[in-house]
Structure 1
């Protein structure tokens, strides 16, 4: 088999595996928890099927010059949508991983939003050049966004690997499995981007490795969603654990501070109902503060 035939075979296999993973997600009743992953796989399957259909038409007599604009915009639009959905998948995996620590989860959400906004801004800034046309600007922006998403994915995989024990997870956890598959796809995406920038030939050994990595990620997800997930362990952190301390600090970040009244307080600052409650409370406390009658007689 030639390199071109291998790539075509794996490309046709990819949407089938995407559909299988979506089916397994629905069967295991965790599609709601991995909603963005379902959307990503659906877009990938539909776009790949459409692109393969266009290539089939070209091979059966339809003019490639007529179909090329359709192929071009279908490829790059789906590529952009997949990049955005990949960001949301990373976001969802982070929320699932940090669920036992709500403080760090809240802090991580804030940081993740800023990183996502900065990533989009950097993608637009890097793609902008004085002589860039509309199409070149679009392709450069989408490529840079995909590269940024791939880097964030690898960072997430590294974080999950280091925090898997403190988070009560295991290597059989679906959170780790999805992160591992995303890491495979991210590595393949970075290699593809590097290959395109240095060589226009898409039918090389490296391209075969990239397609194999993508199919391996889909097979990994199929395995993780086929077998039952082990129950998440109870998290037992020592009092000196940095996870616990940072979680406690993050829990109070952004909360309204308390206030202490110093000096004399005018009754005008209280509502009538509050004044009535304080009057009744002081009336109840008054008998308790008075000495008993026997004490008065002894003192006399």
Structure 2
């Protein structure tokens, strides 16, 4: 199955939803401009696409997934704005464009990230397409997976271990938090937005998201070495420069690619439970490991 048209449909849908959300003017116009700049800078929208795919897999309505899709992308975009700051990874290029703190200034970038984070929870809290208990559960999941027990915790582990040797287990834990947690949240929020998710559904999707979440990071590690700045849209070799712990550094390039193939196989196996209905998720798993940026 070629799910590329579906991917494009979902990418366009979340783009339009986000434009609507940020179309209202306010007194803090500079911050809104910085938030828009960070949201609409050419991202692949993988996380919102996962929200929509999980929603549709379980028979939901797309409008029930819109708030979650926008919220997850707001959190992801905020994390990139903050990751690029001088105190963190100190990057000047993101997706081929100046990073937010370069395009505006450091203080504005910090506030833009803060604004995007807060907006994510505002969107979920204001959603009227789902029962209140489902919305509350989705807010709780996103808070957990984007906080110190998820993405933020993973970023902290990463920063604390720059220039140090860590074990394969520690590296996997770091990436399951830093990258995997938000991908898992995307799948879980999408499933819950259908209002039809059983425990078995959630378990199968959780296994899938754990596999593709780690695969996404392994592929990023490989691309940082094998790709180039123009293709990546950010400085190639930045992981090596910052002496970050990566799969190629720990396992060698051949070992990293073997790990990637194993994770891809695990992702496919985990959703056999859904039979033909899971074809879009099978396609996306391959897209993650075959992408060039």
TM-score, normalised relative to structure 1:
0.30
TM-score, normalised relative to structure 2:
0.31
- Which is higher, the Rg of structure 1 or of structure 2? 1
